[in-house]
Structure 1
Amino acid sequence: MTRWLKPILYLLLSVFLTRLIPFSSFFRNLDTMVHEFSHAVMALVLSGDVQRVELHADHSGVTYFRLASSWSHLPIALAGYIGASLFALLLFRLQASGKQKLGLILMSGIAALLLILYVHSGFGVYWLIGFLALNILALCLKKQEWLRNGYYGLLAFLTLEESAMGPVTLVLNSLDNSRSAGDAYSLQEITGLPALLWSIVFLLVALACVSRSLQLFAGSPSRPSARRSKGSGIWSRQRMDI
């Protein structure tokens, strides 16, 4: 129990503190972007046809795709929340290695791919353009490396928080009305297992990634060291009201 309590307390403190930062809500859509990108990539891996992706101002998103096999929906449904948690962990691993610039390039690459291929209307277009512009600006800060690394750290923490709070919302929605549990409800429809069970699986994966990310952060350098179903489907990310 102690193993889980410390990262949970750190996560709650981080959620409280980062919500005091102006414009932090804008950057929380990064987790939504990665979530929907994970759905899209898995659909493509399974030879599906990704039709479009939507990103919304309330931090929700939707991926529209078409597959030949109904059971192919299972890994796609799993990919969203798990992919977002693993991506947050990757950001902290890159930070621990002093590779913040590579992390910014990776985030920018995902944003550019979505903008070019799948996000062509609505809020998502403006958000992706704004996010890309800020990242390019950060990448150009050669003499102000501390500022670029601080910007990267903010993105990493906000992504980590959102990747964990999303499953928390799923658990609460599953207890109230499983139909509002997004991907967890989709997994219930596919497997017959309750949405609450899938929500807990997502939450445990997220907490494991939070725990490891915080361990990496505690030992990471602030800068690089001199050495050292037939038919169509829709997967969506629910709005998080916590």
Structure 2
Amino acid sequence: MNKWLKTILFLVGSAILTRFIPFSSLFRNLDTMIHEFGHALVTLLLSGKVLRIELYADHSGVTYSSMLTPGRSILVSLAGYVTASLFAWLLFYLYRKGRHMWGLGIMTGVALVSLLFYVRGEFGMLWLTGFSALNVVIMIFGARIAKFYYLLLAFLTLEESVVSAMYVGLMSWTQPSRAGDAANLAQQTFLPALFWGTLFALFALWCAKGALTLFFRKESTTRPSKSRGLRGRNV
């Protein structure tokens, strides 16, 4: 079966199955956090100023910034979906390397930085506080379930990174002015929202394919062969 088709089918199945996990909806804000943190990080790297980040219960968010030239604003608008997709891939890479505790530490670090410096609003601050506290508890006391908890976060983040990118891609076709970052990029460039929305969707799928390839890759079963030397005999 084609790898792209496998990726799409697995994502659809995973999205359906994870809906049955209690409270899984709350963890879907992780992708939103990473998305908005990506905007903020690139803003800071380009010498801009992050005013605040808002996270909402419907899994949406917004980053307010200033002091950016038009050219730099393009990079900031690109950063959200690109960062979220690459981060989902990173989580599976760390899992593959047996570094899931590192992944939990990175997620917790981003949450704490966001909480201390950027996120305002009751829901966002409450969510970040609870998420960070739960991660710390699991890293310290929950070694037996840490891997399963990490995989849940990884799959939810992967799903949301693709679903949100596909959604903005669809909106760029049907309602371009409401296509979020794609609409912002259309205003800043000569390219339409349709181009940017499609680009986000394709990039998210490409990252998802890479992430799932890492997850399903089989360990090498090849063992080094042993050679037997022959002793010479005197005749």
- TM-score, normalised by the number of residues in structure 1: 0.88
Identify the residue that residue 235 of structure 1 maps to in structure 2.
none
Q: Does 1:38 align with 2:16?
A: no
Distance 2:209 2:78 in 1: 21
> What per-residue deviation string (whole Å, max 9, x for no partner) do you get for residues 107-139 of structure 1?
000000000001132210000001001101110
What SS does the corresponding residue of 2:21 show, helix, strand or coil?
coil
**Matched-pair contact (CA < 8 Å) for 1:82–1:206:** yes
Q: Which SS does the other structure have where 1:8 is aligned?
A: helix
Amino acid at match of 1:126: L
- Structure 2 Cα separation of the partners of residues 28 and 124 of structure 1: 13
> Following superposition of structure 1 onto structure 2, how do residues 185-196 of structure 1 map, counting pairs within 5 Å?
185-196=183-194
For residue 164 of structure 1, what is the aligned residue in structure 2?
Answer: 162
* Aligned residues with identical type, % of pairs: 49
Deviations 1:137-185 (CA, angstroms, capped at 9, x unpaired): 11013xx534110000000000000000011111221122111100000
For 2:75 and 2:197, the matched residues in 1 are separated by 15
Cα deviation code 1:19-70 (max 9, x no counterpart): 1111010000000000000000000010000010000000000100002411
Partners in 1 of 2:218 and 2:116 — Cα distance? Answer: 34
Deviation at 1:220, TM superposition (A): 7.2
Alignment partner of 1:145 is 2:106? no
Task: Indicate conservation of the 8 Å contact 1:48/1:67, yes or no.
Answer: yes
Relative contact order: is structure 1 or structure 2 higher (C-alpha 8 Å, sep ≥ 6)? 1
Partner of 2:233: none
Q: TM-score, normalised by structure 2?
A: 0.90
Matches of 1:193 and 1:220, distance apart in 2: 42
Indicate conservation of the 8 Å contact 1:178/1:185, yes or no: yes
Cα 1:220–1:62 shift into 2, 3 Å: farther
Measure how far apart 1:6 and its partner are.
Answer: 1.0
Partner of 2:152: 154
Aligned to 1:227: none
Deviation at 1:204, TM superposition (A): 1.1
Deviation of 1:84 after TM superposition, in Å, equals: 0.2
Alpha-carbon shift at residue 192 of structure 1 (Å): 2.1
Q: Is contact 2:169-2:200 (8 Å) kept? A: no
Structure 2 equivalent of residue 118 of structure 1: 118
Output aligned runs, 1:32-181, within 5 Å: 32-141=32-141, 144-181=142-179
**Is the 8 Å Cα contact of residues 28 and 156 (structure 2) preserved in structure 1?**
yes
Give the AA of the match of 2:135: N
**Quick check: which has more Rg, 1 or 2?**
2
Structure 2 gap ranges (5+):
220-235
CA contact (8 A) 1:95 1:220 kept: no
- Out of 145-154 and 48-57, give the one that drifted further: 145-154
